[in-house]
Amino acid sequence: MTLKAQEKESTLAFVSKEEILKDFRVAVESRHASLMGRKEVFMGKAKFGIFGDGKELAQIAMAKAFRKGDFRSGYYRDQTFMMALGELTVQQYFAQLYAHTNVEAEPASAGRLMNGHFATRSLNEDGTWKNLTEMYNSAADISPTAAQMPKLLGLAYASKLFRENKGLQELTQFSNNGNEVAWGTIGNASTSEGMFFESINAAGVLQVPMVISIWDDGYGISVPKEFHTTKGSISEVLMGFQRTETEKGFEIIKVKGWDYEALVQAFDYAGELARNEHVPVLIHVEEMTQPQGHSTSGSHERYKSAERLKWEKDWDCIKKFREYIITTGLASEEDLDKIDTEAKAEVKKQKEAAWADFSGEIKKELQEAVTLIRNTAEGSGQKANLLQMAEELAKSINPIRKDVISTVRKSLFLLRNDSSSAKESLRNWYENQKELNHDRYSSHLYSESDFSALKVAQKPAKVDESSPLVDGREILQAFFDYTLSNDPRFFAFGEDVGKIGDVNQAFAGLQAKHGEWRVTDTSIRECTIVGQGIGTALRGLRPIAEIQYLDYLLYGIQMLSDDLASLQYRTKGGQKAPLIVRTRGHRLEGVWHAGSPMGMILSTLRGMHVCVPRDMTQAAGMYKTLLESDEPAIVVECLNGYRLKERLPHNVGEYTVPLGQPEVLKEGSDVTLVTYGSMCRIVLEAAHELEEIGISAEVIDVQTLLPFDLTGTIGESIRKTNRVIFADEDVPGGASAFMLQQVMDHQDVFRFLDSEPQTLPAKAHRPAYSSDGDYFSKPSADDVVEKVYQLMHEVDPNRFPAI
């Protein structure tokens, strides 16, 4: 449907003159902020800028329909929307542009993100949840195009769960009976991304209260929309999703970005429809403009014709809004000029206040450093050089913190031959600054609250001879059953998880027992399975999102890496999404479903815990630990372990396995063998073979790769055996190399090594098919025996002659 002002009762009937003039003021304040922000970048006071000019009117209309409890997952041009809600002041806007690291000045990211990234703080300082129903909520933005869409699906799906799952009705700080709408925004060019289409399809299937607004200015940086979109119109492409009287689907609305009345009507209608009926809505806002081009990186005059540039000036939304106000007699041109002048002055005032606060902190540190360097110089043989460095630092124009710290470090290097007392004050100041800068730039990669997974109390599994021997999958089944029965926030979803209880039967029978809202099937869509998990976790629920096989994790890796893993870091503890991703991998045979790309996971998922349990007893304990914490994690179960027999603990569902604590599976004195997951059985088999030929191997299961050996267990073993081999199924240079690096860098073992530390990974290629393919592709017990024997031959060739 297309909404035009004349098709419905005039907006003037339900929007007062005062409110319309307030909207005009917000629009021009936002526009002046964009114009001044660009100048700040060109003056060198900010690194980069991307702005929301040309999108003001539609965002004001969206803000009118947005209610407390609702969530936004959006686009980095949504500044006007945030300003209209009162969730972003102009001063905060410029504080982010300058990258002010003070969370009070820049609450969205504490200066960790470039401008245009908007987040409200869902958490109190102690990590507890605020009452999200009393807030306007904005999920922390990410820059990869369209990556906000999968999370949006999850935010909307949470409302569906809160409405349909009666067990959640007491969680009133998170939802009011599922009445919350998830509002998404996206640029028209980004609708070409697969994440967008996958999210649209999933929302149509699930029928969730989601409103997607497409800001269509006709371009994707320099590329016009005819190169992006079939028919040049995303709403035309998606007309097959339009709901009918007999078929569920989307409501699709087209509206012009300069038409104030139609915009207000469109967003009001969309919000009420989504809120009351849980119908997803797509609003295609056409004929938007981008007055300053894409960003400060270039000029749009290079790729837009003179005719297009003239059209953008003539149909600028603020210009048309001004004409609308004058034509309807709401205000005179002089009245609007006065508002514009006042807005410009106010923006300038707040900009200057933001710069004063930002630069003032650094100038204070600069002056302290200059004074200390000068004082230290007086008694130093490097006086002339030190005074020159202090003088250059003091004269810096628009200094940044790097200038200050770099000068201090160079000064301390110059002072290396001076007595410790002479440079003590400067060195103490620098050490204090290192702590402050760690907090400013490196804190909150993981939770720093009392809910950290590392603070969960350890509760051992109770296993004895009376514990029944069962398939490993039955231990997980018992754990999930217990948790579903005792925690209404907990639910699981993924491909084949529901009716058949997952492909390995750990959820067998649990959908029938606990219902489809607790154990749920999804379509084949790993990216939005991850997004669904992130969004629901952001709203206080405790999801397990299943990725059927480890190889399929690649489909969701961007969401996990760019969004989930960095969430606590990029909000400096302001938001959390304790999603658990469940998957399986390792020893299955074949090129696919058999990979162990742990190096990729370790590189991309810093900020998540990476658990690699050797069996299902350990896996269940790790799940319990994670569910008691407020952190995201991935648990990689052993694909060949579901039918192996284990003893069912008496306290299944209650015991925990601590993260970062390796376990010694077999003691030994000659060599330390470090591994994890399915390799534990391989290495233990080899260790027993080695025992028969007189080699005593100590076998250690690291249990988690992130965090890695917080107890120093491996180092302690190496100090005893003086030799170590790290074995796993990843490619060379992957997780085995990571483990080696962690131990060498952090456990002070080099001086205790009598032999070169070694790794035993899989081959560089993916595993070949069949049992033979497995044997010749991944480390076998024979490989371990041979590797250890060769090591011992080098130590004692007489006792262990060459084979």
Q: What is the pLDDT of residues 239-274, one digit of tens each?
A: 999 999 999 999 999 999 999 999 999 999 999 999
Q: How far apart are CA 602 and CA 613, in angstroms?
A: 16
pLDDT tens sequence across 701-717: 999 999 999 999 999 99
Taking residues 208-236, report their average pLDDT: 94
Q: Are 501 and 529 in contact (CB under 8 A)?
A: no
Q: How far apart are CA 638 and CA 585, in angstroms?
A: 6
Question: Is 593 designated active site?
Answer: yes
Residue 320 has pLDDT above 50, yes or no: yes
% residues pLDDT > 70 (the chain): 98
As beta bridge partners, residue 77 has: none
Return the SS3 of 133: helix
Catalytic residue among 593, 650, 688, 746: 593
Confidence of residue 8 (pLDDT cuts 50, 70, 90): very low
The mean of the pLDDT values for the chain is 95
656's CB contacts (< 8 A; 6+ apart) are 456, 457, 458, 459, 621, 624, 625, 628
60's CB contacts (< 8 A; 6+ apart) are 23, 26, 27, 80, 81, 84, 263
pLDDT tens sequence across 556-598: 999 999 999 999 999 999 999 999 999 998 766 678 777 789 9
Widest distance between CA atoms in the chain: 103
Q: Is 232 exposed, middle or buried (0-12, 13-18, 19+ CB in 10 A)?
A: middle
Amino acid present at 47: K
C-alpha distances in angstroms, 507 versus 483, 492, 503, 546, 653? 12, 9, 9, 11, 14
Confidence of residue 5 (pLDDT cuts 50, 70, 90): very low
Record the tokens describing residue 158, joined without a space: 């949470």
Residue ranges with strand state E in 299-425:
none
Return the SS3 of 193: coil
pLDDT tens sequence across 337-393: 999 999 999 999 999 999 999 999 999 999 999 999 999 999 899 999 999 999 999
Residue 603 has pLDDT above 60, yes or no: yes
Residue 4 has pLDDT above 60, yes or no: no
The verdict on whether omega for the bond into residue 613 sits within 30 degrees of 0, i.e. cis, is no
Nearest 5°: the CA angle 127, 131, 136 is 105
Res 298: pLDDT:
79
Return the SS3 of 386: helix
Phi, psi torsion values for 696, nearest 5 degrees? -100, 110
Res 422: pLDDT:
83
Taking residues 755-769, report their average pLDDT: 94
> Can you say how many angstroms the Cα of residue 411 is from the centroid of all Cα atoms in its chain?
39
Residue 2 has pLDDT above 70, yes or no: no
Res 3: pLDDT:
59
For the whole model, what pTM was predicted?
0.96
Residue 15 has pLDDT above 70, yes or no: yes
pLDDT tens sequence across 104-124: 999 999 999 999 999 999 999
Residue ranges with strand state E in 225-329:
251-256, 281-286
Record the tokens describing residue 207, joined without a space: 């029928």
Q: Are 136 and 488 in contact (CB under 8 A)?
A: no
Phi, psi torsion values for 126, nearest 5 degrees? -90, 5
29's CB contacts (< 8 A; 6+ apart) are 83, 90, 343, 346, 347
Residue ranges with strand state E in 5-62:
none
Residue 6 has pLDDT above 80, yes or no: no
Res 322: pLDDT:
98
Nearest 5°: the CA angle 509, 513, 519 is 75
As beta bridge partners, residue 322 has: none
Confidence of residue 766 (pLDDT cuts 50, 70, 90): confident
Q: Are 512 and 180 in contact (CB under 8 A)?
A: no
Residue ranges with strand state E in 442-489:
469-471
> Can you say how many angstroms the Cα of residue 351 is from the centroid of all Cα atoms in its chain?
30
Amino acid present at 230: T
Q: Shortest CA distance to 74 belongs to which of 155, 179, 129, 130? A: 155
Q: Is 209 exposed, middle or buried (0-12, 13-18, 19+ CB in 10 A)?
A: buried
Record the tokens describing residue 654, joined without a space: 């209650």
Taking residues 739-762, report their average pLDDT: 97
Q: What is the DSSP string of 706-751?
A: ES--TT-HHHHHHHHHS-EEEE-SSPTTSHHHHHHHHHHHHS--GG
